[in-house]
């Protein structure tokens, strides 16, 4: 299983254990780029897609409603089905 598949599975199965580093790795793998700005929110942009904002607090997990929203926006459950290794 690839590292991205493992990360996607973590987002789906363990939404309370996701930190901002996990969010960055996942969104970068899906083609998003982070726009740095001061404050407690990270914003990720991708051409022809709406920006994704993720409130962050250093050293803490990202709140599970935001993780679940990412699962839905990125259609991670469907992605995992399509990329299941036989």
What is the domain-level CATH number for residue 12?
3.30.920.30
pLDDT digits (tens, 9 = 90+) for 27-63: 999 999 998 777 788 899 999 999 999 988 777 899 9
The pLDDT of residue 72 is above 60: yes
Number of domains in the chain: 1
Instruction: With beta carbons less than 8 A apart as the criterion, state whether 47 and 35 touch.
Output: no
Nearest to residue 26, comparing CAs of 65, 80, 82, 63? Answer: 80
Supply the pTM of this predicted model. Answer: 0.89
Could you give the CA distance from residue 10 to residue 5 in angstroms, rounded to a whole number? 9
Domain that holds residue 70: 3-82
Report the 10 Å Cβ neighbour count for 64. 13
pLDDT of residue 1: 60
pLDDT of residue 78: 95
Mean pLDDT value of segment 11-36 = 93
């Amino acid at each position: 299983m690839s590292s991205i598949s493992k990360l996607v599975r973590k987002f789906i199965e363990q939404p309370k254990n996701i930190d901002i580093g996990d969010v960055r790795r996942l969104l970068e793998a899906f083609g998003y780029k982070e726009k740095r700005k001061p404050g407690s929110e990270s914003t990720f942009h991708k051409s022809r897609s709406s920006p994704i904002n993720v409130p962050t607090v250093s050293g803490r997990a990202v709140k599970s409603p935001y993780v679940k929203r990412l699962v839905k926006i990125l259609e991670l459950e469907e992605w995992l089905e399509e990329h299941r290794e036989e």
